Structure 1
Amino acid sequence: MIDMSAPQILIVAATFLLAGVVKGVTGMGLPTVAMALLATVMSPVAAAALLIVPSFVTNVWQLAAGPSFSALARRLWPMMAGIVLGTVAGSWLLTHGSGGWTSVGLGLALVAYAASSLAAWQLSVPARLEARLGPLVGLATGAVTGGTGVFVIPAVPYLQALGLDKEDLVQALGLSFTVSTVALAIGLAGGGALAAGGLAASLLAIAPALAGMGLGQWVRRRVSAATFRRWFLIVLLLLGLQLALRPML
């Protein structure tokens, strides 16, 4: 059970509000921001348990809004299967591993994602390789998700390299994040890290997350999404470095 003081409750609410804003502006980033910030004030496994419900709700919303669910599900199911297997297996590290090393892994995952996104690498996956690469990318994404609670590496760069149009890409990301969230919940529950108290606390995070998404969508209509995303990635890079280097400080 996650037992939080009043200051911690305020920190959690503010974290999910900010994470919701980022998702509202960029279409992604809620679990990434939430894990990056919450891991500075609590264990990564506690932070992962908190993000399950708001992440699921916001990702299902994103998934349901797209036009091509059936086609994407048929195309990407080998990758999704890999995500489930990798996440359930990798979650052992999150629930049984050292909190210090888990934080380092989380920091390195954030640094890798932020650095690759800032570099704007333009990758391309030929159609003939998709059947072989999809399951491998899914397993790798699952391992990272299970070990750190972050869903983005290498799933996001891979999906961006498939040449999907904008709406299909957003829906494919929603599908990947939804499957990752469900698989992470299964892994945490299997490791005894998803008690009723954790789910109750996670439910309380839905309201600030949805409020942040609404605010983020309002912001997106008034500022450059590219500029916002660039500064978001810079801050994420610094947070990742702080988490990765914390044991040495």
Structure 2
Amino acid sequence: MVVFWESGLYLMLMITATFVLAGMVKGVTGMGLPTVAMGILGALVSPVAAAAMLLLPSLISNLFQFGGGGNTRTLLKRLWPMLSMVVVATLLASVWIAGGDTRRTQFALGVALILYALWTLAGKRILVNPQREKPVSMMVGLVTGLLTGGTGVFVMPAVPWLQSLDFEKEELVQALGISFTFSTLALALGLWWHGALPVQSVTLSAFAIIPALVGQWIGTRVRRVISPLVFKRCFLLCLMGLGLEMILRAAS
């Protein structure tokens, strides 16, 4: 039993199960693949290895959202202050996740997961003053980039901010895809910059594409038979528990 748990076979099974689950969450709720993947894999392998594994599945799934609407130029024009800061801050902060201090990174990741879950469960919205949208957008991008570079999770505070901009449904889906794509590419570049993208991690990331897409396909069908709202609440509660477990483990 010990040999099995420590074998590569066990790790491959866990990676497969993780990305099927993460894909299901994305299929039902429209987001959450990297958050789930980082949350679970971060408890099994180092955060930098987990971040490297999620790059290709996250990029492939988000590219569909990026180009899935006809508003790409308009959205890029409006979101460039946030996106530019996301890229710069992620590149600078990626030294944290690549630095090998797994206890500190796991603690930060646990905090990020809990904050995201609490904010989403509370249904809070950021009040946007149109005259101050650009500087606030840059600040949101800065914080999002710092969290992305430090934890591999790029939902806070970008997702609440985008949800507050009164986009139409299809615009919001595409805006989220654009934000996630820029974050994923910036994280990949940051990990490469710091030599934290070994061939094995890239290979595992490519392997994870298939279970992620299978999970996403399952999730789109699960959405037809259960309430996405109920599913999302259960998912967020589990995410809080996972984040708390990571904080306690990092602090012990």
* Partner SS for 2:165: coil
1:1-249 alignment, distance < 5 Å: 5-249=8-252
User: Is the 2:107–2:251 contact (alpha carbons within 8 Å) kept by the matching residues of 1?
Assistant: no
Query: How far off its partner does 1:124 sit?
Result: 2.2
For residues 166 and 224 of structure 1, the distance between their equivalents in structure 2, rounded to whole angstroms, comes to: 18
Deviation >2 Å, runs of 4+: none
* Partner SS for 1:105: helix
Q: Deviations over 1:174-228 (max 9, x none)?
A: 0000000000000000111112221111000000000011111111122111111
User: Is the 2:144–2:155 contact (alpha carbons within 8 Å) kept by the matching residues of 1?
Assistant: yes
For residues 110 and 245 of structure 2, the distance between their equivalents in structure 1, rounded to whole angstroms, comes to: 7
* Partner SS for 2:195: coil
Unmatched runs of 5 consecutive residues or more in structure 1: none
User: Is the 1:87–1:183 contact (alpha carbons within 8 Å) kept by the matching residues of 2?
Assistant: yes
For residues 4 and 165 of structure 1, the distance between their equivalents in structure 2, rounded to whole angstroms, comes to: 48
**TM-score with structure 2 length normalisation?**
0.95
**TM-score with structure 1 length normalisation?**
0.96
Total equivalences in the alignment: 247
User: Is the 2:106–2:250 contact (alpha carbons within 8 Å) kept by the matching residues of 1?
Assistant: no
User: Is the 2:66–2:174 contact (alpha carbons within 8 Å) kept by the matching residues of 1?
Assistant: yes
User: Is the 1:67–1:167 contact (alpha carbons within 8 Å) kept by the matching residues of 2?
Assistant: no
Query: How far off its partner does 1:4 sit?
Result: 7.0
Calculate the aligned-residue CA RMSD, in Å. 1.2
Identity %: 48
Of 207-216 and 65-74, more deviation after overlay is shown by: 65-74
For residues 113 and 67 of structure 1, the distance between their equivalents in structure 2, rounded to whole angstroms, comes to: 29
For residues 128 and 166 of structure 2, the distance between their equivalents in structure 1, rounded to whole angstroms, comes to: 8
* Partner SS for 2:185: helix
Query: How far off its partner does 1:16 sit?
Result: 0.3
Distance 1:150 1:90, change over 3 A: same
